[in-house]
Amino acid sequence: MKDLSVVIVGGAAGLGALLAEMAVEAGASALGIIDLNMDAAEAALKPARDKGLPAAAAVADIRNGPECHAAFDEISGRIGRVDTLINCAAIYPRRPIMEISDEEWDASNAVNIKGTYHMMVAAVRHMAEQEPKGNVRGRIVNLTSVDAFKAHPQNAHYAATKAAVVSLTRSFAHQVAPDGILVNSVAPAGMATERARQLGFLDELAKASPLGRGAQPAEIAEWVLMTGGPRNSYMTGENVIVSGGYIYA
């Protein structure tokens, strides 16, 4: 991420906060975080501020398009150029396929699809107007999931939204390629997070993986930063599966 300014949506906690920390360690020149929780977002900016880098947080409920655009404009107005946008915000409901309510469908679609869409639109409008670095004006990385590619009757609404984000990624990539903007997604399998421990997923993850364990969050973050960083100057419209052999594609 050397010399790139990075904005992370959903960067206040979990994988998003780890991405913020690792982006700074990898040489990012500025950091922005968009999240619902301002206190946590400010805390996640500490590594950047400790290095004296431009850093800013903005609050947005990404179910609301105008809030997405206002938050992105606020961040870009404070840190200037945005080279990389990482869409990490999502909800992960679990409900058997025959029991999903309209409210649960709407919530999943609003956060996981619509929010991602509006953040990409905001980023593209900004990136298309800035001078390229090399051949690239900007990079967008969307977090998807291996659930987009396999049957998931216990979480079908989440899986469907992640399949939609894969499709959105391809459509945006095709649209903005002439502008020098690269759009890709990264699809992890289960990660050995604190939430996975709380929900009792770790044994399930270990049994499902040929490697015998879920991914450490940093192992996923490395691929996100590679895809959104200067080492990627040509790949666009791709979905990178990082599953430890959970699925092969």
> Which whole number is the average pLDDT over 224-229?
98
Structural domains of the chain in order of their starting residue, each with its CATH number: 5-248 (3.40.50.720)
What pLDDT sits at residue 93?
Answer: 86
Catalytic residue among 92, 117, 158, 234: 158
Helical H segments across the chain, by residue range: 14-25, 38-44, 46-50, 65-79, 102-108, 116-127, 156-176, 194-199, 202-208, 217-227
What pLDDT sits at residue 199?
Answer: 74
Euclidean distance between CA atoms 172 and 108, whole angstroms: 21
Euclidean distance between CA atoms 52 and 70, whole angstroms: 25
Helix (H, G, I), strand (E, B) or coil at 177: helix
Q: What percent of the chain has pLDDT over 70?
A: 100
Least confident of 85-89, 96-100, 126-130, 196-200: 196-200
Least confident of 28-37, 69-78, 106-115, 193-202: 193-202
Question: What digits encode the pLDDT tens for the residues 50-101?
Answer: 999 999 999 999 999 999 999 999 999 999 999 999 999 999 888 999 999 9
Euclidean distance between CA atoms 89 and 15, whole angstroms: 10
> Which whole number is the average pLDDT over 105-111?
97
Euclidean distance between CA atoms 191 and 208, whole angstroms: 12
Euclidean distance between CA atoms 223 and 210, whole angstroms: 20
Please tell me the pTM assigned to this model: 0.96
What pLDDT sits at residue 64?
Answer: 96
Q: In the 8-state DSSP scheme, what is residue 132? A: P
Annotated active-site residue 234? The verdict is no
> Which whole number is the average pLDDT over 197-218?
83
What pLDDT sits at residue 100?
Answer: 96
User: How much is the mean pLDDT over the chain?
Assistant: 95
138-143 and 30-35 beta bridge pairing:
unpaired
> Mutual orientation of helices 65-79 and 116-127 as an angle, nearest 10°?
40
Report the half-sphere exposure of 227 (CA within 13 A, side-chain side): 26
Q: Decide if pLDDT at 2 tops 90.
A: yes
